[in-house]
Amino acid sequence: MERRDELAELLTDHDVETLRHLVNEGMGDNTLRALTSDLAYLEAWGLAATGKSLPWPAPEALLLKFVAHHLWDPERRVTDPDHGMPADVDENLRSQGFLKSLGPHAPSTVRRRLANWSTLTKWRGLDGAFGSPSVKTAIRLAVRAVPRTRRGKSAKAVTGAVLAKLLATCATDSLRDLRDRAILMVAFASGGRRRSEIAGLRQEQLTIETPIEMPDAPPLPSVAIHLGRTKTTTGEQDDVVYLTGRPVDALNAWMMAAKIDKGSIFRAIGRWGTVSRRALDPQSVNAILKQRAEMAGLDAGDFSAHGLRSGYLTEAANRGIPLPEAMEQSRHRSLQQAAGYYNSATRRSGRAARML
C-alpha cells in the first residue's frame, strides 16, 4: 500500500493512461484475451473449490490443489470417484460454461494458467510459490503418470495440393474472391503466417523489393513483409519474410480492387460489397479457410488456419527444401518444433521406417 500511495503521488492520470495504452499495445490482443479468460476461470474455480475468492498471493497448497483438480488419471477415476476434480466443483464450473471438455486438462493449459496466475500476482507487486519445487514436481509427475496424445491444432496440413483446391474456389474477380485468394497465398507463401499476423497485416509493413531476375522468363515481383511483434518475437526485432511471384500478384490485385493504400490490408466485406476500414478479426481468417475448404468439397473440420503453418513446412519437406532454409521463411525459433512439422511428411515412407 505504501508503494501504491507513492506511485499515486508521482503519476498523473495522463501518465497512467499512457502506461495502460503501452501495456495494451505492447502485449497484444491475444495475450490480453488469454489473461482475462484465465483470470475468470481461476476465480470461478477458486470460488467453487474453496468457497472464497482467490487470495493474493496464492498459498502453495492452493496451487497444488489446482494441479490435483486438473491433472488426474481417468482410469483411477473409474474406481475412485474422489480422484481428481470433485463432482460438485466440476458441476459448478460446467453450469457456468467454464468447463466443457471431459477428462483432465491438457498439461499445456494447466501450465499456461499457472503462468498467467503468476504474472497477475507479480503485477500486484507480490511473490508467489509458482516456482516452488513441490509445484514443479507435482506437474512433472502428473504428466508422466498420465501420458496424453498431443493433437495438432489442425487435423490436416494445408499442403500445396490442398491449397490449390482452396484457390480454385477463388476463381472470379469479385472482391471476396480476390481477398480470400490473397489471404491464402500470402499466409502460405510467407512461411505459414499465424492468423493473427495475417489479420493484423498493414500496408506500412510492406516494402517493394527489386524484382527477381529469372533465366528465360520475365522478372518476378518481390515484396518484403516486416513482421514487427509476433507470438515469438518483440517489436524490437525486425523479422522479415519475402513474397515472390504469384502471391505478390494476388496481394496487389486485392489491394488495387479494394483501393487500399494504407492501414489494414485484409478487411471485412459488407453485404453490398463495401470494404470495411477495420481489419479482419483473426477468427475470420480461420472461418474463411474453412469456408473455402467446404466449397472445395473437403471436410472443413479437418482444416484450420494453423494448417497453413504446418502445411508450409510439410510442403517444404515434400519438395526437398533444407529445414534451415524453410525456417528462414517460417521464422520458427525452435529447431525441434519446426522438425515436428517437417519430418512428419516423410517419416512414414522414409528409409528409417522401412528397415525391414
Mind listing the pLDDT tens digit for each residue in 155-209?
Answer: 688 888 999 999 999 999 999 999 999 999 999 999 889 888 999 899 999 999 9
More confident residue, 354 or 309: 309
- Within 10 angstroms of residue 313's Cβ, the number of other Cβ atoms is 29
pLDDT at 349 over 50: yes
Calculate mean pLDDT across residues 299-304. Answer: 88
Mean pLDDT along residues 23-49: 79
In DSSP terms, which residues pair with 75 in a beta bridge? Answer: none
Q: What is the pLDDT of residues 126-150, one digit of tens each?
A: 888 888 898 888 888 888 876 665 5
Q: Comparing 76-80, 285-289, 318-322, which segment has the lowest mean pLDDT?
A: 318-322
User: pTM of the prediction?
Assistant: 0.65
Distance CA 314, CA 309 (A): 9
Q: Nine-digit cell at 284?
A: 475470420
Rounded to an integer, the average pLDDT of 30-36 is: 75
- Give the count of beta carbons closer than 10 Å to the beta carbon of residue 201: 24
Walk across the sheet containing 206-214 and list its strands.
Answer: 206-214, 217-226, 240-244
Nearest CA to 186 out of 241, 258, 261 is that of 241
pLDDT at 230 over 80: no
Residue 292 confidence (pLDDT) above 80? yes
Is residue 296 pLDDT above 90, yes or no? yes
What grid cell was written down for 1? Answer: 500500500
Residue 76: the pLDDT is 86
pLDDT average, residue stretch 243-263: 93
pLDDT at 238 over 80: no
> What average pLDDT does range 30-57 have in this prediction?
86
Find the mean pLDDT for residues 43-67: 91
**Range with the lowest mean pLDDT among 69-83, 223-237, 243-257?**
223-237
Q: In this predicted model, which residue has the larger pLDDT, 348 or 233?
A: 348
**pLDDT at res. 325:** 81
What pLDDT, on a 0 to 100 scale, did the predictor assign at position 1? Answer: 46
Domains identified in the chain and CATH numbers = 2-145 (no CATH), 160-351 (1.10.443.10)
Of the chain, the percentage scoring pLDDT greater than 90 comes to 34
Give the helix/strand (H/E) hosting 220: strand 217-226
Confidence of residue 327 (pLDDT cuts 50, 70, 90): confident
Cell numbers of 154, please? 489442425
Which pLDDT does position 354 carry in this prediction? 62
The DSSP symbol for 208 reads: E
Give the pLDDT band (50/70/90) at residue 48.
very high
| Phi-psi category of residue 263: left, alpha or beta, with phi > 0 → left and psi -120 to 50 → alpha | left
Looking at the chain, the number of H-run helices and the number of E-run strands are 16, 5
Report the C-alpha gap between 121 and 58 in whole angstroms: 8
Q: Burial, 233: exposed, middle or buried (Cβ in 10 Å; 0-12, 13-18, 19+)?
A: middle
Lowest-confidence segment of 266-280, 295-309, 324-338 by average pLDDT: 324-338
Decide: 348 and 208 in contact? Cβ < 8 Å.
Answer: no
Q: Could you tell me the pLDDT band of residue 314, with boundaries at 50, 70 and 90?
A: confident
Distances (CA, A) of 98 to 40, 44, 189, 242: 9, 8, 38, 41
- Average per-residue pLDDT in the chain? 83
For residue 185, the model assigns a pLDDT of 95
State the pLDDT at residue 157: 85
Quickly tell me which residue has 495502460 as its cell: 20
